Amino acid sequence: MTLTGELFIGGERHGSARKFQAYDPSCGRPLEPAFSVAGAAEIEAACARAHEAFDAYRGLAPERRAVFLEAIAAHIMAQGEPLLERAHRETALPMARLESERARTAHQLRMFAAELRMGEWLDLRVDPALPHRQPAPRPDLRLRRIAVGPVAVFGASNFPLAFSVAGGDSAAALAAGCPIVVKGHPAHPGTSEWVAQAIVAAAAETGMPAGVFSLLNGPDTQLGATLVADRRIHAVAFTGSRAGGLALMQVAAQRPVPIPVFAEMSSVNPVILLPGALGARAERLAHEFVSSLTLAVGQMCTNPGILLALQCPPVQAFIEAARTALAGVTPGVMLTAGIQRNYVQSLERTRAHGAQWLAHGGEGGAANSGRAALFGVPAAALIDQPQLAEETFGPAALLVHCATLGEVRQIIEQLEGQLTLAVHMEESDQPLAQALLPALERKAGRLIVNGWPTGVEVSHAMVHGGPFPATSDARSTSVGSLAIERFLRPVCYQGFPEALLPVELRTAELPGWPHRLDGERRLARRG
């Protein structure tokens, strides 16, 4: 496939007069071709097509949408190396990482296909009529969940495949029955065009309404704001910066008809190092920490940005080992020049707040690279200056020396909401961990014992969400099968004749799906 730089509106390529460029972050040179910028007319057209397609798309049998999702995965895989090479040129992410990200992207699409077939997402409930009940009869009541409406999906800079055009948010929204209008991330428009082509081909092949997918591109934030303000958009999925997420939340709340925004924004993913664990394996912990911190040049939502170390002699061994390990890490090229600039400024801010340098990454990085950094502060400094706990997007962390468990707890209580909170412990640390647990549960969506926050499993029990500002809605996750719930709403059908009921709620079909009958759980009986 040759890139044309065009947008996709309802499955058709569409060029516009205004153009923008992608850049190779490793050298700063523009990449060909130039890409069309979506303006008001393109936003209008994409939303109109999504709205037109909505009833037809959500009305398809779940099996049809499952086949569509699987076809998207197959088309992405079939694009082979050229897709990964383009993504590499646009993001500087290593090919091995992009290969595993592509595998994850395909896995996400297939997981939602499997979820569609299992039918748990429908939340089917039937309360049969009780015509003779006193003092009043009960009508027949049946419930299913349906798609909320067209969804605006924002591509993320740091996952050009797994959280962009056909990423987790798109897969969840399409599975739910929502047409999507994707605002591609301007740093990787070529990767976006490749993947868009896979979606459009899959939609045509499996007979989907064309309006189910559009891709809009552009370098300005106005595009996203106009899209979120469009009356035909019913929900928003966003992964990105706190400022970006907050801006979209404002737009959504001020619409004549407010809509939900699911923004995954900001997390420093604190890791608590308890004395037993430090005593047993300070060096191993330090090596694991450095791997987690410098993964993808620290450009991960789950980067371990804060270490809370309970004071004990092995803390120094941990720092020494981390220093040695960090010194061996060659600085990697960051996703964009802007991200690199922000990273450097963020390090300066941390120092200005009085944090001490504990360790550096190695020298000798290429242009636009991010050198890893570990800072140290006493607990009192973080308690006095909560700004020190703000997210740095890049491979930097802050080690906080805590004299007592009380200080650890005070810092946790003071923290903003997080995606993850991790504890490294031995059996001897159990009473300490137990004492911290209620506070940890209140502050994060995922709690980890003896692991690191990076490496988000795509499965049923995963939560990639958490209290604000980790996400805009703590009741949501953007990874795992539970992510589909963001785009569904319940509808009750009262007194419906069999022929008018949605297929899966008909008396003949119901036993084939998991459901609750008068509240009691019934398993699906499949033929």
Of residues 416-435, those binding a copy of itself (CB under 8 A): 416-417, 427, 430, 433-434
| Subset of residues 174 to 213 that bind a copy of itself, contact rule: CB under 8 A | none
State the minimum distance, in angstroms, from the CB of residue 420 to a copy of itself. 8
Q: Which is closer to a copy of itself, CB of 2 or CB of 254? A: 254
Residue-wise over 475-487: b if at least 16 C-beta within 10 A, else e? ebbbbbbbbbbbb
C-alpha span between 293 and 452 (Å, rounded): 9
Q: Closest approach of Cβ 305 to a copy of itself, in Å?
A: 18
| Amino acid symbol at 420 | T
Residue 130 CA to residue 139 CA, distance in Å, equals 7
Q: Which two tokens stand for residue 134?
A: 């006193």
d(CA 204, CA 492): 33
Quick note: the x/- pattern for a copy of itself over 24-63, rule CB under 8 A, is ------------------------------xx---x----
Judged by phi (left if over 0) then psi (alpha if -120 to 50, else beta), residue 207 lies in left
187, HSE (Cβ side, Cα atoms, 13 Å): 27
Residue 301 falls in the annotated catalytic set: yes
Q: Which residues contact 94 (CB under 8 A, 6 or more apart)?
A: 88
Q: Does 247 bind a copy of itself (CB under 8 A)?
A: no
N-terminal to C-terminal alpha carbon distance within the chain = 42
Residue from 179, 190, 260, 331 that binds a copy of itself (CB under 8 A)?
260
Q: Report the site for a copy of itself in 313-352 (rule: CB under 8 A).
A: none
The site string for a copy of itself over 71-110 (x = CB under 8 A, - otherwise) reads -----------------------------x----------
| Min separation Cβ 111 and a copy of itself, Å | 8
Token pair of 88, please? 């590499």
Contacts of 315 (CB under 8 A, 6+ apart): 273, 278, 282, 309, 401
Q: Which of 33, 220, 221, 493 binds a copy of itself (CB under 8 A)?
A: 493
Shortest distance (Å) from residue 181 CB to a copy of itself: 18
Helix ranges, 269-328 (H): 275-294, 314-327
Beta carbon nearer to a copy of itself, 181 or 433: 433
3-state helix, strand, coil in the chain (%, to 5): 45, 20, 35
H-assigned helices in 328-384: 337-352, 379-384
Residue 363 CB partners (closer than 8 Å, separation 6+):
331, 371
Closer Cβ to a copy of itself, 138 or 341, answer by number = 138
**Cα–Cα dist 320/302, whole Å:** 24
Reading the block at residue 213, the tokens are 């997918």
Please state the closest distance from residue 417 (CB atom) to a copy of itself, in A: 8
Question: Which residues 119-158 are close enough to bind a copy of itself by CB under 8 A?
Answer: 120, 123, 125-127, 135-136, 138-139, 141-143, 146, 148-149
DSSP string over 161-177:
TTTSTTSHHHHHHHHHT
* Least separation in angstroms between CB 413 and a copy of itself: 11
The count of other CB atoms within 10 Å of the CB of residue 97 is: 15
Span of 80-88, 198-206, 248-256, 277-285 interacting with a copy of itself by CB under 8 A: 248-256
Q: Which is nearer to a copy of itself, 352 or 461 (CB)?
A: 461
Choice between 323 and 442, CB closer to a copy of itself: 442
Chain residues 442-481 in contact with a copy of itself, contact rule CB under 8 A: 442, 444-451, 455, 457, 459-463, 465, 467-469, 472-475, 477, 481
Is the Cβ–Cβ distance between 209 and 56 less than 8 Å? yes
Longest dimension (CA), the chain: 82
Q: How far is the CB of 200 from a copy of itself (least distance, A)?
A: 25
CA dist., res. 337 & res. 326, Å (int):
23
- And the tokens for 387? 């700004």
CB 22 within 8 A of CB 190: yes
Q: What are 202's two structure tokens?
A: 């899959």
Query: Is residue 44 annotated as part of the catalytic site, yes or no?
Result: no
Q: Which of 181, 249, 277, 296 binds a copy of itself (CB under 8 A)?
A: 249
Residue from 489, 504, 506, 512 touching a copy of itself (CB under 8 A): that is 489
- Residue 489 Cβ vs a copy of itself, minimum distance, rounded to whole Å: 4
Among 301, 391, 402, 407, the active-site one is 301
Q: Which of residues 497-516 bind a copy of itself (CB under 8 A)?
A: 497, 499-500, 514, 516
The tokens describing 291, both together, are 């791997």
Number of residues that bind a copy of itself (CB under 8 A): 85
| Nearer of residues 364 and 527 to a copy of itself, judged by Cβ | 527
Map residue 115 onto helix, strand or coil. Answer: helix
CB nearer to a copy of itself: pick between 10 and 150: 150
Residue 520 beta carbon to a copy of itself: minimum distance, rounded to whole angstroms? 8
Return the range that interacts with a copy of itself (CB under 8 A); candidates 155-163, 271-279, 299-307, 441-449: 441-449
Question: Rounded to the nearest whole angstrom, what is the least distance from the CB of residue 383 to a copy of itself in the complex?
Answer: 17
Radius of gyration of the chain from Cα atoms? 25
Active site residues per annotation: 264, 301
